[in-house]
């Protein structure tokens, strides 16, 4: 489904809500990107923050976060406009800057949130990307706009259209008492809000308190030692906070604010929820942090957390501690070499022995992996099967003897064949033939895993 389209796509007849396949059929070669509502919301929030340069009262428009309908920001610039040379200058400046940032923006300044909302969306176009409505002029400015400019639900707007009420102005003429029974409270409320008859409060952007610890240095620090101490303090503070909520950190973000106003972020993850201050502090190597001209402030935030209830002291250190040690080891190795470089073996469902295992990230929350039982597999499997000389007397029979690495082995016992065919759906060349595997034991009691592919024989592994 298309969530939003650009101007070119709209011109080609595409619109939000259209199934992607239809869009593609209509416009071959249509460029699309997956919708990322979370990132969009974050970007919008960042932009709202950025607008803080004009006024402290900024907010993401709760009625305009649908990307298809045009996401919106609300700014209360009461008492701020003069700083930018008046309302018009502020609007022009904001519009120009937003354009510079690559946004297609429409903006309107008016007495009420409702009026500005409607005017920005329905009273502006490409030629007039911004409008300033003087005090008291909102009523007149809104009159020619469609009722949808009043922030109505789709159903409400459609109902108005059925009565031929196609402009806000047409509503002014109707006795207000007739509106509510027919259109519900929404219309009357929105109309009063837009005209300033009912106040509307703007709730400004406020950050959600994250799990974060903050440390301000008295002096800018530049060396590793105070940084390390700072880290420990931060970790201690953070872990206390996490403990109070029975949480453990899965992802940490260390932010250092340098004296020159630049900042640097280091982020890493842990293999299991943790709130051990030592462990967390040790994950960051102070020498990795470039202090620049000195660090003023450091924050350590747990950006991803998972429940971690308080731990019972363990009486039997054999059982649980081992797993914890392993986790600690994995984290330390990962912190040094990068967690992307620490692996563990995991079973892969494949009949082909060389594919039956694979590497998994050590961080994978893989449970006790189910290795397949039932088919004997050698303890040691060669990465590359080695060609051997062998001859079998009959088809489906194991060889009576074979020569491997120039040594002759007499087969005294054998079981098989186990026939395994190539995985036809993969596009590996070179494995075209079915293999017949045999477990054989030689005169010395050593056991081998052999297979025949076509007329050639290979040794693929050794049993203990």
Kindly list the residues in this chain that would bind another protein in the complex (CB under 8 A): 15-22, 24-26, 28, 146-148, 154, 157-166, 170, 174-175, 177-178, 181-183, 348-351, 372, 374-376, 396, 415-421, 424-425, 427, 434, 436-437, 439
Which parts of 222-347 are beta strand (E)? 247-258, 263-274, 295-307, 343-347
In the complex with another protein, which residue's Cβ is closer, 225 or 394?
394
Question: Would you say 96 or 359 has its CB closer to another protein?
Answer: 359
| Shortest distance (Å) from residue 82 CB to another protein | 38
Q: How far is the CB of 242 from another protein (least distance, A)?
A: 37
Q: Write the DSSP symbol of residue 29.
A: T
Nearest alpha carbon to residue 63 among 109, 120, 10: 120
Contacts of 196 (CB under 8 A, 6+ apart): 111, 112, 115, 138
Residue 279: strand, helix, or coil: helix
In the complex, minimum distance from the CB of residue 15 to another protein, in angstroms, rounded to a whole number:
7
Q: Which is nearer to another protein, 70 or 292 (CB)?
A: 70
- Kindly state the smallest distance separating residue 28's Cβ from another protein, in Å: 7
Q: In the bound complex, what is the minimum distance in angstroms from residue 437's beta carbon to another protein?
A: 7
- Which of residues 210 and 358 has its CB atom nearest to another protein in the complex? 358
| Shortest Å distance, C-beta 394 to another protein | 9
Phi then psi dihedrals of residue 34, to 5 deg: -65, 145
CA 128, CA 143: separation in Å to the nearest integer? 18
- Residue 162's SS3 state is helix
Token pair 């610039």 in the structure block, residue: 77
The 10 Å CB-count burial string (b at 16+, else e) for 68-81 is eeebbbbbbbeebb
- Pick the closer one to another protein by CB: 62 or 358: 358
Least distance (Å) from another protein to the CB of residue 450?
12
Query: d(Cα 175, Cα 383) in Å, to the nearest integer?
Result: 86
Taking the C-alpha atoms of residue 34 and residue 24, their distance in angstroms, rounded to an integer, is 14
Judged by CB, which is closer to another protein: 130, or 449?
449
| Closer residue to another protein in complex, CB, 383/394 | 394
């Amino acid at each position: 489904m298309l969530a939003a389209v650009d101007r070119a796509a709209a011109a080609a007849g595409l619109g939000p809500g259209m199934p992607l396949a239809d869009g593609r059929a209509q416009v071959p070669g249509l460029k699309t990107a997956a919708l990322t509502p979370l990132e969009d919301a974050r970007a919008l929030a960042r932009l709202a923050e950025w607008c803080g340069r004009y006024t402290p009262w900024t907010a993401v428009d709760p009625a305009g976060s649908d990307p298809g309908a045009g996401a919106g920001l609300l700014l209360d610039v009461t008492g701020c406009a003069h700083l930018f040379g008046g309302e018009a200058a502020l609007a022009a400046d904001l519009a120009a800057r937003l354009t510079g940032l690559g946004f297609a923006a429409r903006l309107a300044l008016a007495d009420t949130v409702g009026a500005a909302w409607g005017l920005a969306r329905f009273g502006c176009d490409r030629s007039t990307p911004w409008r300033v409505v003087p005090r008291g002029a909102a009523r007149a400015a809104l009159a020619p706009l469609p009722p949808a400019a009043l922030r109505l639900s789709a159903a409400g707007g459609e109902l108005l259209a059925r009565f031929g009420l196609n402009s806000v102005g047409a509503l002014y003429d109707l006795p207000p008492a007739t509106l509510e029974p027919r259109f519900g409270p929404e219309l009357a409320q929105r109309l009063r809000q837009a005209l300033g008859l009912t106040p509307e409060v703007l709730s400004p952007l406020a950050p959600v308190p994250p799990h974060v610890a903050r440390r301000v240095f008295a002096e800018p620090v530049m060396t590793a030692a105070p940084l390390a101490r700072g880290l420990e303090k931060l970790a201690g503070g953070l872990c206390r906070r996490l403990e109070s909520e029975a949480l453990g950190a899965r992802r940490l973000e260390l932010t250092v604010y340098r004296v020159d106003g630049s900042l640097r972020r280091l982020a890493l993850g842990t293999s299991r929820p943790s709130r051990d201050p030592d462990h967390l502090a040790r994950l960051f190597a102070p020498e990795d942090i470039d202090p620049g001209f000195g660090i003023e402030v450091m924050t350590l935030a747990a950006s991803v957390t998972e429940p971690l209830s308080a731990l019972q002291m363990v009486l039997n250190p054999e059982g649980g501690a081992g797993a914890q040690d392993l986790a600690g080891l994995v984290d330390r190795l990962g912190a040094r070499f990068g967690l992307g470089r620490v692996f563990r073996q995991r079973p892969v469902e494949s009949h082909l022995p060389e594919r039956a295992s694979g590497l998994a990230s050590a961080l994978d929350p893989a449970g006790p992996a189910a290795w397949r039982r039932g088919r004997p597999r050698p303890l040691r499997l060669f990465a590359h099967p080695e060609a051997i000389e062998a001859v079998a007397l009959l088809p489906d029979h194991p060889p009576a003897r074979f020569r491997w690495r120039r040594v002759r082995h007499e087969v005294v016992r054998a079981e098989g064949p186990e026939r395994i065919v190539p995985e036809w759906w993969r596009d590996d060349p070179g494995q075209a033939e079915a293999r017949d595997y045999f477990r054989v034991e030689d005169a010395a009691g050593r056991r081998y895993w052999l297979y025949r592919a076509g007329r050639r024989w290979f040794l693929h592994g050794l049993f203990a």
